[in-house]
Amino acid sequence: MKVKGFLTDVGGASRVSKARLAAFENASPVPEKVDPIGNVAREWHPGKIDLVVTKVTEITKTTKTIRFERKDGKKLPPFYAGTFMTIDVPMGDSLLTRPYTISSAPFEARLEEHAFVEISVRRSKGDGLICDYINDHFKVGDEFKGMIGLGQFFYEPLRDAKHIVALSGGIGITPFASMAKEINHGTLDVDLTILYGSNTSDDIAMKDELDAIKSSKVHVVYVLSGDEPGWTGERGFITAELIKKYSAPDSSYFICGPQPMYEPMRKALAEIGAPKRRVRFEVFGQPKDITKYGYPAELADQTFNLTVVRGIHEDVIPAIGRESLVVALERAGIRIETGCRSGECGFCRTKLLSGNVFISPISDGRRAADKDFNYLHACAAYPTSDLKIKIPIE
Ligand code: FES
């Protein structure tokens, strides 16, 4: 049987081979202009694209939603609800790349006309400089380059439960707004319960939108920690008890909010016995105070010499202990590609040639081989001595 099967295979292969030879012989020497597979790949993964601002909406006193469309009028690349985009923002002589979670839904990026993508940016939280700049200066008609659909913070049916409990605070509501709109559109099949913590009702970002997207599959529970008279919703902070109250027998937990929220949420989820495989934290950028994560406090204000090798160029720039190497490079006007700024995506991968760094333990997304061969993610590395790095040439 085996011999027969083998001969059948050989016979089949030789027939295919003849057919392929004939195809080669009859082929035109001129390269085919039609490239359907390449066209799909380019449409779905176009890299950086040219975007134009088409709408700016003030959604709270401190938050604006910025809408972008593609400059060439085409649809935007597909993305998962919950992921983020980057935009390159020119600041003085520098071009700074910043990540922002997409608050619009994936289906809105694939509309036949005026397909769009939106981010909602709150003032002076996170990397305040750029957030304030966006709030103050972005206007209709402005053009930027950006990359759409990065990150791992999305529903994956093979991994996640069909009921998601979203634990959110501040402007961390944006990925859940995107998911909620996609669910109501019928293109994301999960149940979503959002617990959204704020101090006062005035601090609730996107409230009108959230109220409009409540449905049989999307529940929004506002939780106010401030003493607001007349408030009839949940009060206090998001606790283990509250999370349990709104959980299904099998839920996945997605957490996105300000940095101080993460540790209490981790503890609360452990308290209710949520399995680790059901818990997902959105990356939150660079820690505000790296000494809280083990960086030596006595070095935090020291300035080190950072030698930067780019091709045949070498520059020596100052690098302050408490700031990541990415910040030192940007401060010196040296361009380095960034995406997540949280150690996850690898866009800022850099070779350490000499000297020492502290790697943020909460943002160490390097592969094992990179660790062995002295590569680091510059957004998650902090100098502890004079050092020399080699960065890619743009
Ligand atoms: S920007 Fe993503 S790892 Fe540094």
Among the ranges given (81-95, 167-181, 188-202, 309-323), the one the predictor scored with the smallest mean pLDDT: 81-95
Q: How far is CA 26 from CA 21, 22, 23, 37, in A?
A: 9, 6, 5, 22
Among the ranges given (23-32, 72-81, 174-183, 192-201), the one the predictor scored with the smallest mean pLDDT: 23-32
Residues 167 and 276 in one domain: yes
- Ramachandran bin of 84, using left for φ above 0, alpha for ψ from -120 to 50, beta for the remaining angles: beta
Across 336-365, average pLDDT? 93
Q: Would the pLDDT of 301 be above 80? A: yes
Residues 266 and 170 in one domain: yes
* Domain-located, residue 129: yes
* Domain-located, residue 210: yes
Report the nearest atom of ligand 1 relative to the CA of 365: 3
74 vs 16, which has greater pLDDT? 74
Q: Would the pLDDT of 159 be above 90? A: yes
Distance CA 260, CA 213 (A): 28
Residues 6 and 111 in one domain: no
Across 344-359, average pLDDT? 95
* Domain-located, residue 272: yes
Across 90-107, average pLDDT? 90
Residues 192 and 275 in one domain: yes
Distance CA 111, CA 54 (A): 15
Residues 230 and 303 in one domain: no
Choice from 87, 323, 347 to test ligand 1 binding pocket (greatest atom count within 8 A of CB): 347
Query: Look-up: residue for tokens 């680790």?
Result: 276
Among the ranges given (33-47, 136-150, 165-179, 243-257), the one the predictor scored with the smallest mean pLDDT: 33-47
* Domain-located, residue 358: yes
Which of 117, 150, 183 is the last residue before a domain boundary?
Answer: 150
Closest-CA residue to 380 (of 285, 309, 261): 285
Would you say 250 and 273 are in contact if contact means Cβ atoms under 8 Å apart? no
% of the chain residues with pLDDT over 70: 95
Residues 67 and 137 in one domain: yes
Across 105-125, average pLDDT? 92
* Domain-located, residue 197: yes
Distance CA 385, CA 354 (A): 10
* Predicted pLDDT at 185: 96
Residues 167 and 273 in one domain: yes
Q: Residue 72: pLDDT band by 50, 70, 90 thresholds?
A: very high
Distance CA 199, CA 272 (A): 24
Order of strands across the sheet that contains 84-91: 94-101, 84-91, 143-150, 49-60, 63-70, 117-122
* Predicted pLDDT at 71: 96
% of the chain residues with pLDDT over 90: 69
Q: Domain count of the chain?
A: 4
Q: Would the pLDDT of 32 be above 90? A: no
Which of 230, 252, 281 is the last residue before a domain boundary?
Answer: 281
Report the nearest atom of ligand 1 relative to the CA of 346: 3
Residues 244 and 274 in one domain: yes
Choice from 324, 377, 391 to test ligand 1 binding pocket (greatest atom count within 8 A of CB): 377
Choice from 348, 351, 376 to test ligand 1 binding pocket (greatest atom count within 8 A of CB): 348
* Predicted pLDDT at 283: 79
Residues 246 and 308 in one domain: no
Residues 54 and 23 in one domain: no
Closest-CA residue to 127 (of 379, 332, 381): 379
Residues 231 and 296 in one domain: no
CATH number, domain containing residue 199: 3.40.50.80
- Amino acid at site 316: V
DSSP 247-274: --SSEEEEEES-GGGHHHHHHHHHHTT-
Would you say 344 and 365 are in contact if contact means Cβ atoms under 8 Å apart? yes
Domain hosting 66: range is 46-150
Rounded distance from Cα 15 to ligand 1 centre (Å)? 50
Q: Residue 10: pLDDT band by 50, 70, 90 thresholds?
A: low
Would you say 225 and 197 are in contact if contact means Cβ atoms under 8 Å apart? yes
Would you say 223 and 234 are in contact if contact means Cβ atoms under 8 Å apart? yes
42 vs 77, which has greater pLDDT? 77
Report the nearest atom of ligand 1 relative to the CA of 380: 4
Closest-CA residue to 173 (of 217, 221, 135): 221
CATH number, domain containing residue 301: 3.10.20.30
Which of helix, strand or coil describes residue 47? coil
Distance CA 90, CA 15 (A): 59
* Domain-located, residue 67: yes
Rounded distance from Cα 377 to ligand 1 centre (Å)? 6
Across 372-387, average pLDDT? 96
Across 284-305, average pLDDT? 91
Closest-CA residue to 160 (of 236, 243, 72, 248): 248
Pocket of ligand 1 from Cβ distances under 6 Å: 338-341, 343-348, 377, 379
Q: Residue 3: pLDDT band by 50, 70, 90 thresholds?
A: low
- Amino acid at site 82: G
Per-residue pLDDT of 202-243, as tens digits, reads: 888 888 889 999 899 999 999 999 988 999 999 999 999 999
Rounded distance from Cα 33 to ligand 1 centre (Å)? 37
* Predicted pLDDT at 12: 65
Query: Look-up: residue for tokens 């996640």?
Result: 160
Which of helix, strand or coil describes residue 211? helix
181 vs 39, which has greater pLDDT? 181
Residues 124 and 186 in one domain: no
Q: Would the pLDDT of 78 be above 80? A: yes
* Predicted pLDDT at 113: 95
Distance CA 332, CA 315 (A): 10
Report the nearest atom of ligand 1 relative to the CA of 341: 1
Q: Residue 131: pLDDT band by 50, 70, 90 thresholds?
A: confident
* Predicted pLDDT at 128: 58
Which of 224, 254, 281 is the last residue before a domain boundary?
Answer: 281
* Domain-located, residue 158: no
DSSP 64-100: EEEEEEETT-PPPPP--TT-EEEEEEEETTEEEEEEE
Half-sphere exposure (CA, 13 Å, Cβ side) for 103? 24
Rounded distance from Cα 208 to ligand 1 centre (Å)? 33
* Domain-located, residue 157: no
